[in-house]
Amino acid sequence: MKTGGRRGSSNIEDRRGQGPRVGGPIALGGGGLGIIGIILFLLLGGDPGSLLGDGGTSSGVQQGGSSGYAGTAQEEELADFVSVVLADTEEVWGEIFEQQGMTYEDPTLVLYTGSVQSACGLSSAAVGPFYCPGDQKLYIDLSFYNELQNQFEAPGDFAMAYVVAHEVGHHVQTLLGISDEMAKVRQRVSGEAYNKYSVAMELQADYLAGVWAKHEQEKGYLESGDFEEAIRAASAVGDDTIQRRARGYVVPDSFTHGTSEQRMYWFKRGYQYGDLDHGDTFTELGL
Ligand SMILES: [Zn+2]
């Protein structure tokens, strides 16, 4: 993917190098350091704007950002890449929502290492990237990029872009009220019946990732091989593989995701149409 000269998102919350802080993040609306932490943070010269997730004035992820974490050059490059991808999703979804007479609200992307506390509970990086509707944030441990390359055998920058776009797809579903509907369904159907809804939900996120990729292509941002990288990743990140990596933590985004074929099909379909009108995975699955 071509990223040169493009802005990164200001909606990045850098929690890398910090352990999970139980009870803090939700009450504080994103900072989660607690009062002592805030005082220490300010004493250390931190910007309270970035602490509260306002992003300060930075574009992209600052080296050794609000968390004080400084990764390897490769990690920082990846953080910058993810930041540009997030900014691109803000732009594309902002345009699509505007065309529909709606307003897109940017989600926050939390970078973390190891494990993280969200409104969806405590999660280990073993579950892979996820989106939590409760706080409208995406959670990504960048080491997943290496997993994609090595364990899932889906290398390439656009494989990672697909992963981010899929999680953003869940955010779009939240803004469209689909996540709320799902929460209601969950209360009235059995676990087994709910799995089918879950598959529809996941495949729709793949469709929405495809919609985004189509707009990237139209803007001239795709390079040769990018589409194939995304398809390979869509095929590789089956639900079973991700669940196997779980280690007993709460797993917010580990429902049944659909088969490799289904995931590739819906991503391609989103890429084909590039709109909100052809992604009714629920009807397609007979729901
Ligand atoms: Zn998902």
Please provide the DSSP assignment of 57-94 as one string: T-SSPPTT-TT-----HHHHHHHHHHHHHHHHHHHHHH
71 C-alpha to ligand 1 centroid (Å): 27
Give CA–CA dist 139/282, Å, rounded: 26
Strand partners, 137: 108, 132
215 C-alpha to ligand 1 centroid (Å): 20
182 C-alpha to ligand 1 centroid (Å): 13
> In whole numbers, what is the pLDDT of the chain averaged over residues?
83
237 C-alpha to ligand 1 centroid (Å): 10
- Return the pLDDT at 94: 98
| Comparison of pLDDT for 161 and 44, the residue scoring more | 161
Question: Is the pLDDT assigned to residue 34 strictly greater than 60?
Answer: no
Question: Is the pLDDT assigned to residue 55 strictly greater than 80?
Answer: no
CB contact set of 153 (below 8 Å; sequence gap of 6+): 232, 236
Please tell me whether residue 158 adopts helix, strand or coil conformation: helix
Question: Measured on CA atoms in the order 126, 257, 76, 171, is the torsion positive or negative?
Answer: negative
Tokens (6 digits) for 34: 């607690």
254 C-alpha to ligand 1 centroid (Å): 8
Mean pLDDT of 46-53: 38
9 C-alpha to ligand 1 centroid (Å): 21
Query: Which helix H or strand E contains 8, and what residues bound it?
Result: none
Condensed to tens digits (0 to 9), the pLDDT of residues 110-169 reads 999 999 999 999 999 988 899 999 999 999 999 999 999 998 889 999 999 999 999 999
- Return the pLDDT at 21: 63
Mean pLDDT of 33-37: 40
164 C-alpha to ligand 1 centroid (Å): 10
69 C-alpha to ligand 1 centroid (Å): 27
> Is residue 10 a contact partner of residue 55, using CB atoms and an 8 Å limit?
yes
Condensed to tens digits (0 to 9), the pLDDT of residues 190-217 reads 887 888 899 999 999 999 999 999 999 9
Give CA–CA dist 207/217, Å, rounded: 15
- Return the pLDDT at 45: 39
Question: Is the pLDDT assigned to residue 238 strictly greater than 90?
Answer: no
pLDDT band of residue 22 (cuts 50, 70, 90) is: low
- Return the pLDDT at 255: 53
Calculate the alpha carbon distances from 83 to 60, 65, 110, 195, 260 in Å. 6, 13, 11, 32, 27
- Return the pLDDT at 251: 44
Question: Is the pLDDT assigned to residue 243 strictly greater than 90?
Answer: no
83 C-alpha to ligand 1 centroid (Å): 19
Four-point Cα dihedral 41, 45, 50, 55, nearest 10: -160
36 C-alpha to ligand 1 centroid (Å): 35
pLDDT band of residue 54 (cuts 50, 70, 90) is: very low
pLDDT band of residue 270 (cuts 50, 70, 90) is: very high
Question: Is the pLDDT assigned to residue 239 strictly greater than 50?
Answer: yes
Model's pTM, two decimal places?
0.81
209 C-alpha to ligand 1 centroid (Å): 11
Give CA–CA dist 102/106, Å, rounded: 13
Half-sphere exposure of 237 (CA within 13 A, CB side): 35
Mean pLDDT of 89-110: 97
Four-point Cα dihedral 144, 150, 156, 161, nearest 10: -20
pLDDT over 90 percentage in the chain: 64
- Return the pLDDT at 71: 86
Question: Is the pLDDT assigned to residue 20 strictly greater than 50?
Answer: yes
Alpha helix (H) residue ranges in the chain:
24-28, 34-43, 48-51, 73-99, 144-150, 157-175, 178-188, 191-218, 226-236, 239-244, 260-273, 281-284
- Return the pLDDT at 242: 57
